[in-house]
Amino acid sequence: MNVLIVHAHPEPQSFTAALRDQAVETFRAQGHQAQVSDLYAMGWNPVASAEDFTQRENPEYLVYALEQRQGVKRGAIAEDIQQELDKLLWADLLVLNFPIFWFSAPAMLKGW
C-alpha cells in the first residue's frame, strides 16, 4: 500500500512530528511505501491566488474553481501543486497529521 502523510506542524521536535516519524516507521515495517509532505519544511504557500496557474482560461477575472478544473486538464497548475496532486494520485491511504489550533486544523493544512 502507498501511504501519503501530510504533516502540518511548525516545530520539527513536536509531539506531532514524533507521531509522523512513528507512522512512517510503522508503515514501512509492515511493508508499505510511505512518503511525507511536511508543509512547513516545504515552505508550502497556503494562499490561493492567480500564481497557482501557469495559464489561465480567463486572465481578466479569476474564478479559482474554474481555473483549477481547466488547469488540471491542461497541465497548467503550478509545479508545487502538481507535485502534491501526483502524490495524492499515487497514494492508497492519506494520513493528515496536525495539531488542533483554535479548535481547527492549521491554516497551512487548510491551504494545502
Q: At 54, list the grid cell.
A: 501557469
Q: What is the mean pLDDT of residues 36-47?
A: 97
The confidence score (pLDDT) of residue 102 equals 85
Cα dihedral 85, 86, 91, 97 in deg (nearest 10): -50
Fold type of domain 2-111: Rossmann fold (3.40.50)
> pLDDT (tens digit, 9 = 90+) per residue, 9-29?
999 999 999 999 999 999 999
State if pTM tops 0.85: yes
